A and B are shown apart, each in its own frame.
Chain A
Amino acid sequence: MVAEIGFGALIVAFVVSIYGIVAGIYGARRHAEPWLESGRRAMLLTWPLITLAVLCLVALLVGGHYEVQYVYNVTSSFMPLYLKVTALWGGQAGSLVFWSWLMAAFASAVTLRKWDRDREFLPWVIVVTLVTLAFFLGLVIFVENPFVRFWQMPDGRQAVAMFAPRGALPLVPMEGRGLNPLLRHPGMILHPPMLYLGFVSFVIPYAFGIAALVTGRTDDRWIRITRRWTLVAWLFLSLGLILGSRWAYDVLGWGGYWGWDPVEIAAFMPWLSGTAFLHSVMIQEKRGLFKRWNMILIILTYALVIFGTFLTRSGVLSSVHAFAQSAIGPLFFGFIAITFLGSLGLLLYRWNDLRSEGVMTSLLSREALFLLNNLLFMGVLVVCFWGVIYPLISEIITGQKVTVGPSYYERSTGPLFAALLLLMGIAPLSAWGHSTLKTLGRALWKPLVASVVIVVGLWVGGIRAWSALLAFWLVALVSLVTLYEYYRAVVARHRRTGENYLRALWNLAGRNRRRYGGYIIHLGVVLMALGIIGIELFQTETQGTVQPGGSLRLGNYTMLFQRLDVFDTQDGRNVARAVVSVFKGDRYVGELHPRRDFFYDSQQTMTIPGVRSTMEDDFYVLLVDWQSSAQGITFKVYHNPLVNWLWVGGLVFILGTLVAAWPDREAEPTRARATQSLAAQRVRP
C-alpha cells in the first residue's frame, strides 16, 4: 500500500510538472496571467508530492519491507535507524528520487520569494526547472523505480515488478542485503546530499540565465538576482567535495583524500566552471564585459551538473563510486545533448544583444586578471574533461581503449593550480580598469619580501626540494597579501571612523561581504594548499608483518604492536581491533586502534585506520591483514605531514563562503549598474 502511494505521488508529480511546463510556456507567450499563476501553482505542488513519495520510501526503508527491491538492496535489520533513513540515497533509484525532491524544494523556494519582483523571468525559470525535474521524475518512474517489488510467479519463477503480475504472490525476503559498509560513515551520510544540493542549486542561476536569453533582458539583472543562489550552490558543492575527501581519508584506507577517480572529477568539473562563473560575473557587474562568456559558463555548469549525475549513475566509466550499470545512460546523454544545444542556440540568437559595454585596456587590471583566472579554471576543466573522455575517444578513433591515470591529472593540473595560487596573491591588489606594474608593485612589495624571507627560512631549515619551496612561497605570498589587505583596510577605517580595530574589522566585512568573504575563502584555499603540499610532496609510508611486541618504524615515529582483539558487536559486525602504542622519538604519544570490521549482512569488510592527528602531521596506521599468517599481523603505516591544514582550510573556506553569501543587512539595492566613468571604477568596491 505504501509503495503504491509513493509511486502514485511520483506519477502525479510528473504529470503536474508536464502541465506546469505547458502552462508556463503558454502563459509567457500569450502574457496570460491566469496560466502563469497556474503554472506557478503546479510548480509549488511538485514539492509536497515528491515529499510524500520520499516519506513513503523512508517508511518502507525504516519498516524493513524487503519485498521492495530497493529496500532489500540497501538495508538490513542490523542497521541503526539513521542509516536506514539515509539509505534513501544509498542506491541508484533512491538517490534519483532524492535529487528530484531537492530540485522541487529549490524551485519552490524561488517562486515563493519575490514572485512579483522577477515577474518577467519567472515563467521561464519555472519552465527550465520543471523540465529538469520532469526528466528526473521520468527516469524514476519509467526506468529506475525505487518501489518495484519481488513476486513469486505461479510457475515458480521470481519476478520484479511494480504491480502484481497475474496470479503472482508477494515474495518477502527474510533479510535485506544491507548498505554497502563503505557508505556507513557520517561523511558518506552527508556527502551525497551536499553534492546534490550543490548540483541542484546550480540549476537556478542557469534557469535565470535562460530566462534572460528568452526574454531578451540581457543586462546583468539575472546575475544580480542569482548571485546568492550561485554562492549557495557553490557552498554546497564545495562542502560535498570536502566531505567526500574526508570520507576517503577516513574510510577508504589508502592514506589519501583524492584519487582522480572519474566520479570525483565529475563532481569537480561543475565546481570548476562554477568557480570561474563566480569570478567572471563580477566583471560583468562592474564593467559590463564578458556577457556572452558568463552565459557560456552557466550553460556549461548546468551541462556538467547533469553530466556529473550521469557519470555517477550510468556506469559508463568504471569507478569505485559508480552504481551498477543501468539503462539510464543513453537517456542522460540525450537530455544533456538537447539542453546543451538548445541553450547554445538561444545564446547565438541573442549573441548581438550580449555585446560588451566597455573595453579592456590594461593587462594588469583587475578584469584582465579575472580573465586570466577564468582561462586557468577552464584549463583545469579541459584537463579533467579530456582525462575522463579520453578512453572513449581513443576507443572510437583507434579502436584501442587507452586510459590516463592519476599521474596525468597531477602533472597537468599542478602548474595550473600553482598559477591560480599566484594569481590569488596578485589579483586582489590590482584595480578595476587600469593598473600598472608600478601601482601593483607598490601594493605588493611588502608581502613579497616577507614571503621570500619565509622561503629562505625554510631553505635554511633544511627543505631543499624546489617544488616544495615554490609551493610554500606561493602559500606564504597569498596569505600575507590577504592579511595585509585586511590590515590596510582595517587601519584605514579605524583612522576614518575612530572605531576600534575589532569593530572596524566587523563593519568592514559587513559592508562588503562578497569581497571580504572572498578573502577568507582565499585564506581557506591557501591553508588547504598547505595540507595538499604536505601530503603530496612529503608523504612517506611503510608496511610490515609483526608479532605482538614487535614494532615498525617510519621516520621519527615508532609503532609498537601490543595485541589484537577480535569480537562481535550488536549491530552485526565482527571486529578485529589492534592495539598499537605510538612513540615519537622516545616519547610515548598515545595509543591507536586500527581495525577491520566484517559486516555479516553484506559479507564485506571495511578498514578503519587508527590516526594520531596533530597540526604538524598525521600518523596513520592501517590493519591490513590479520588472518592469513601465523607470523603476525600486517600493518600499513603512513606519515602525512601537514594534512590537517587541508581540513582546517576547508572549514575556513566554508566560513568565508557563508560570510559572502549571508544576506545583507539592508534590502539588496536593485539599482542598475550606471555607466560609470573609468575614473570612478578605479575606486575598488
Chain B
Amino acid sequence: MSQPAVEIPRPGGNRAKFIVGGLLIVAAIVYLIASSTQASAQYFLTVEELRARADEVRGREARISGAVLGDTIQYDPQSLQLSFEIAHVPGDNKEIEVQGGLAAVLHAAVNDPTRPRIKVVYHGVKPDLLRHEAQAIVTGKLGEDGVFYAEELLLKCPTKYEEALPEQAGN
C-alpha cells in the first residue's frame, strides 16, 4: 500500500510531504477498516456452540446455521410472524464432506432427536425454500428467552445443488 511512496525519489522537502500525506491516508483507511470490522462483526456459530456459549454471545450479532425441522414451521401471513426450529449441523465444510455431503448431514440432523435445537423467530415473508431439511443460515441475536431473533434469513436446499445421480432414470 505504501509502495508508491518508495517510488518518489530524491531531494527536497517534498518527499516528506508525500510520505506524511500517504501515511495519513493509509492510517485513515486502516482506521475505517478496523472500526467497521468491530462494529459489524458477526459470530459464525453452530447451534451447539450457541447453546454452550449463550451467556457470552447473548445480545451480540451472530450468524448460525442449522437444519430446518418442517413441522415446527409456524407462519402468520397477517402479521408476517415466522418461527421454526433448527437442529445442529457441523459448521465445518470438511466435516460435512466426511459425513456424506450437505444433503446427508441435513437429513441426519432432522432425524436425530438428541441434537441440540433452537427456536428461530423472524419477522417477514416466509421464503419458499423454507421447508423440511433445508439449511437455514440466520443472522441476528440470541434473546434472553433463549430464542434466536433473526434479522436475516438465508436458505439453501440441497436438492437445488448438483447431485451426482439422477432420481428417476430409465434405459
Contact = CB atoms under 8 A, between A and B. Distances in A.
Query: Are A and B co-members of a single complex?
Result: yes
A570 interface: no
B33 interface: yes
Interface in B51-93: 61, 63, 75, 77-78, 80, 91, 93
A411 B40 contact: yes
B152 to A, nearest CB: 8
A543 interface: yes
Interface in A372-399: 372, 374-376, 378-379, 382-383, 386, 390-391
A137 to B, nearest CB: 21
Given A318-B137, A356-B9, A401-B44, A375 B170 contact: no
B55 to A, nearest CB: 15
B80 A171 contact: no
B98 interface: no
Contact of B162 (A92, A174, A371, A409): A92
Given A625-B77, A634-B80, A173 B37 contact: no
How many chain A residues sit at the interface, stated as a range, is 35 or more
A209 to B, nearest CB: 16
A376 B4 CA distance: 12
A7 interface: no
A175 interface: yes
B77 A628 contact: yes
Interface in B36-50: 36-37, 39-45
Interface in A63-99: 66, 69, 72-73, 91-92
Nearest to A390: B37
Interface stretch (B24-32, B108-116, B142-150): B24-32
Interface stretch (A44-52, A289-297, A506-514): A289-297
A360 B9 CA distance: 8
A160 B165 contact: yes
A174 B7 contact: no
Interface string A173-191: 1110100100000000000
B97 interface: yes
A534 B163 CA distance: 42
How many chain B residues sit at the interface, stated as a range, is 35 or more
Contacts of A539: none
A290 B32 contact: no
B77 A404 contact: no
Contact of A402 (B8, B21, B41): B41
Interface string B113-152: 0000000000011101000000001010000000000001
A403 interface: yes
Contacts of B29: 375, 379, 382-383, 416
A546 to B, nearest CB: 10
Given A405-B139, A412-B32, A634 B125 contact: yes
A379 B77 contact: no
B77 A545 contact: yes
A631 interface: yes
B124 to A, nearest CB: 8
A115 interface: no
B126 to A, nearest CB: 6
Contacts of A160: 164-165
A625 B126 contact: yes
A318 B159 CA distance: 16
B3 A293 contact: yes
The 3 closest A-B pairs by CB, nearest first: A401-B44, A629-B77, A408-B40
30 contacts: A170-B171, A172-B171, A180-B160, A292-B3, A296-B3, A318-B156, A323-B161, A356-B8, A359-B12, A363-B14, A363-B17, A375-B26, A375-B29, A379-B32, A382-B29, A390-B37, A401-B45, A403-B63, A404-B36, A404-B42, A405-B152, A407-B36, A412-B33, A412-B35, A412-B36, A543-B80, A543-B125, A545-B78, A625-B126, A634-B80
Given A323-B161, A405-B152, 14 more contacts: A152-B171, A175-B168, A290-B7, A318-B137, A359-B8, A375-B26, A378-B1, A383-B33, A383-B36, A391-B44, A402-B44, A407-B36, A411-B32, A545-B77
Interface of A: 66, 69, 72-73, 91-92, 150, 152, 158, 160, 169-175, 177, 180, 289-293, 296, 315, 318, 320, 323-325, 355-356, 359-363, 368, 371-372, 374-376, 378-379, 382-383, 386, 390-391, 400-405, 407-409, 411-412, 415-416, 543, 545, 602-605, 624-625, 628-629, 631-632, 634, 636
